Chain A
Amino acid sequence: MSELLTKSRARNVFYGGSIFFVVVFVALTADSHRHITRTATSGMELSDAVRHGKHVWERHSCINCHTLHGEGAYFAPEVGNVMTRWGVLDEPEMAYEMLDAWMQAQPSGIEGRRQMPHFEITEEEMRALSEFLRWADQTDTQNWPPNDAG
């Protein structure tokens, strides 16, 4: 074993193999990029409102309590399918009203309940956030999550 596997052989296997896997990974990433833009997220237009909504989502660091497609913090509910859970995926106006009503009611202040902060969000931003969540909800996530509970 020790004669067959010298240090320089081990090093060459490391370099050669790593380059091989990087090449495969880059090719698959390029294919996945195409898949995302052409197929997985083609269900709803990536409009200005959706873009704006993503910025609203980021500015308030929602990901550090909630999960989105299962990624984020685990302190608050999954929101990747929240519009489906509320039954408003195809109803932009109702989606906005639900979201607005929910967020305006925060924080609940109820003792012993997790508190969602109050965010200073304009109507335009709230509509954008709602569109962003509807857009995210129609992504082809390979049927994840298993049910509407998220």
Chain B
Amino acid sequence: MKYQSQQVAYAYFVAAMALFGIQVLGGLLLGWIYVSPNTLSEILPFNIVRMIHTNALIVWLLLGFFGAAYYLVPEESEREIFSVRLAYFQLAILVVGTLGAVGSYLVGIHGGREFLEQPLWVKFGILVAAVIFLVNVSLTFLAGRKTAITNILLMGLWLLCLLWVFAFINPDNLSLDKMYWWMVVHLWVEATWELVMAAILGFLMLKLTGVDREVIEKWLYVIVATALFSGILGTGHHFYWIGTPGYWQWIGSVFSTLEVVPFFAMMSFAFVMVWKGRKNHPNKAALLWSLGSSTVAFFGAGVWGFLHTLHGVNFYTHGTQITAAHGHLAFYGAYVALNLAMFTYAMPILRGREPYNQVLNMASFWLMTGGMAFMTFTLTFAGTIQTHMQRIVGDYYMQVQDELGLFYMMRFGSGVAVVLGALLFIYSMLVVRREVVKPGPVAVPGE
């Protein structure tokens, strides 16, 4: 660790991993309710558990991004963070807000716009935390060396914080509500978060592969250009059936098809950099997560997104388990795995050790990734049958759901694998202090 204030990231990563645990355990319970619907149905209904599952996900990903920013901005700017105190204060607000939100969900106090259910005081808390964060990193950035990585990272973070304003705008007209709701939801995950993702991936590539900064930064600009050129008008794929004009069907179809491009570019970028780099960085687990993230993001966000994005297809698949399949793999690949890549890279440095427990960490990668892939397949099959029975044949919803029980059982099984993987990851990061498998002798060229 080059700068003392980077240590702030440690607290963010630990808080993020705690929420990650809550998120996947919530997910496991939801998966079980699908299999055995009477579970806790009176005291902890599905809708409450789902709010905890989705909100915990969003908050821990954001904590991971904030932590990543506090880790990499000093190193890129070549100076300490403007105020370490503010950074801890920001974290305290977010932790209190999150605990407050979870507590109020459990007693039935919540809003009713999906993902934005936080009570108003929590929303304001998030706003205050976001402002503190922006001030803190921007002042650090402005006083120091400016690189494309921090430039893109900060641009993404600034824009995502500004878009949070739409969380406060809730028109009485449902169609308007939905349209503006997407200004947070879509323009976060399919535009501004991609900037953050690209910047963090660029930083990891820089550190892990040793490729020339100039090369990495040029391609970063190309990647984020394709992300915003496609992602902004790609919002149109959410405007097909909510009361918005018909022209969105073509705009949405064309531009959201192009949304595959930045994910393909990020995957290619990661592999080409590793190929060019030839640096033998000891943290193999971080490399695995970086490559894995960009690959699974391409499949989850790119391929599974395209699967149901054309309006002629989406007319039949909209709001079925196909959407759930895509949502799970896209979030996992693009944002979960990327955050875990950053944790894997930074935690050994923050704890002052050599990379440790890479074997456990890499095992957790395959457990989680295998589990998520299996979950995606089962939900895709369930969604295909649902689309046919419900949207083509016209059978009623619950009648169709009763036919999908086998898929939900398999999905629960894959969820168990994901939870085990997540717990193993957290364990390997925080608890174990030694490598469990001894590395072999220093590599010699193969024949």
Report which A residues bind B (CB closer than 8 A). 5-7, 10-11, 13-14, 17-18, 21-22, 24-25, 28-29, 31-33, 35-37, 40-41, 46, 50-51, 54, 57-65, 67-78, 107, 109, 111-115, 117, 132, 135-136, 139-142, 144-150
Residue in B172, B173, B176, B241 whose CB lies within 8 Å of A69: B241
7 extra interface residue pairs, beta carbon distance < 8 Å, beyond A73-B114, A136-B174, A139-B242: A18-B229, A25-B232, A50-B172, A61-B47, A64-B46, A71-B238, A145-B241
> Taking each of B34, B238, B319, which has the highest tally of chain A beta carbons within 10 Å of its own beta carbon?
B319
A-B contact pairs, 25 of them (CB 8 A): A7-B214, A7-B218, A7-B221, A18-B228, A21-B233, A28-B233, A33-B176, A41-B173, A41-B174, A54-B174, A61-B117, A64-B51, A68-B174, A73-B114, A74-B323, A75-B46, A111-B38, A136-B174, A139-B243, A141-B241, A142-B241, A144-B315, A147-B394, A149-B396, A149-B397
How many Å from the CB of A89 to the closest CB on chain B? 16
Q: Does B439 contact A (CB under 8 A)?
A: no
**A74 in contact with B242 given A14-B221, A63-B112 (CB within 8 Å):** no
Instruction: Using known A-B contacts A41-B173, A54-B174, A63-B114, determine if residue A114 contacts B37 with beta carbons closer than 8 Å.
Output: yes
Question: Quick check: which of B70-78, B135-143, B246-254 contacts chain A, the rest being far away?
Answer: B246-254
Q: Tell me how many residues of B have a C-beta within 8 Å of chain A.
A: 71
Q: Are B179 and A142 interface neighbours, CB within 8 A?
A: no
Chain A residues with Cβ under 8 A from B392's Cβ?
A: 146
Contacts of A139 in B (CB 8 A): 174-175, 242-243
The 10 closest A-B pairs by CB, nearest first: A58-B112, A70-B319, A64-B47, A144-B241, A10-B221, A115-B41, A77-B397, A40-B243, A14-B225, A70-B318
B447 interface residue per 8 A CB criterion = no
Question: A7-B148, A59-B112 in contact; A25/B235 too (CB < 8 A)?
Answer: yes
Instruction: Give the residues in chain A near B390, CB-CB below 8 Å.
Output: 149-150
Report the nearest B residue to A35, measured CB to CB. B245
Complex contact A18–B232 (CB within 8 A): yes
B229 → chain A closest CB, angstroms: 5
With most chain B CB atoms within 10 A of its CB, the pick from A21, A68, A112 is A21
- CB-CB < 8 A to B235: which residues of A? 25
Is there an interface contact between B174 and A33, defined as CB atoms closer than 8 Å? no
B-side contacts of A59, CB under 8 Å: 110, 112
* Given A64-B50, A115-B45, A117-B42, A69-B178 contact (CB < 8 Å): yes
| B179–A22 CB distance below 8 A | no
Q: Taking the nearest CB of chain A, how far is it from the CB of B176, in angstroms?
A: 6
Report chain B residues within 8 Å CB of A149. 390-391, 394-397
**Contact call B173/A46, Cβ cutoff below 8 A:** yes
Among A18, A37, A148, chain B packs the most CB atoms within 10 A around the CB of A18
Asked whether B173 lies within 8 Å of A61 as measured between CB atoms, the reply is no
B204-237 interface (Cβ within 8 A of A): 214, 217-219, 221-222, 224-225, 228-229, 232-233, 235
Known contacts A25-B233, A136-B174, A139-B175, A32 near B315 by CB under 8 Å:
no
B13 part of interface (Cβ distance < 8 Å): no
Contacts of B321 in A (CB 8 A): 74
Residues on A with C-beta less than 8 A from B283 are none
A142 partner, pick from B246, B316, B395, beta carbons under 8 A: B246
| Chain B residue at minimal CB-CB distance from A51 | B172
Nearest-CB residue, chain B, relative to A132: B174
Residues of B within 8 A of A54 (CB): 172, 174, 177
State in angstroms the CA–CA spacing of A51 and B170 once bound together: 11
**Chain B 236-269 interface mask (CB, 8 Å, partner A; 1/0):** 0011111111111101000000000000000000
**CB <8 Å contact, B173 and A37:** yes
Per-residue contact bits, chain B 38-60, to A (CB 8 Å; 1 contact, 0 not): 10011001111011000000000
Complex Cα gap A115–B34 (Å)? 11
Complex interface: chain A residues within 8 A of B38 (CB): 109, 111-113, 115
Given that A69-B243, A71-B319, A140-B243 are known contacts, is A113 also in contact with B37, CB under 8 Å in the complex?
yes
Whether A114 pairs with B401 at a CB distance below 8 angstroms is: yes
Q: Which residues of B contact A61 (CB under 8 A)?
A: 47-48, 51, 110-112, 117
Cα of A142 to Cα of B245 in the assembled complex, Å: 8
Indicate if B279 sits at the interface (CB-CB under 8 A).
Answer: no
Residues of B within 8 A of A109 (CB): 38
Kindly provide the distance from the CB of B40 to the nearest chain A CB, expressed in whole angstroms. 10
Q: How far is the CB of B150 from chain A (nearest CB, A)?
A: 13
By a CB distance below 8 angstroms, the chain B residues around A5 are: 218, 222
Answer whether residue B113 sits at the interface, using C-beta atoms and an 8 A cutoff. Answer: yes
Chain A residues with Cβ below 8 Å from B122 are: none
Assess whether B46 is in contact with A36, with CB atoms less than 8 Å apart.
Answer: no
Q: Does B320 contact A (CB under 8 A)?
A: yes
Complex Cα distance, B224 from A32, in Å, reads: 27
What is the minimal beta-carbon distance from A61 to any residue of chain B, in angstroms? Answer: 5
Q: List chain B residues, Cβ under 8 A from A35.
A: 244-245
Closest Cβ of chain B: how far from A51's Cβ, in Å? 5
- Complex CA–CA separation, A46 to B114 (angstroms): 22
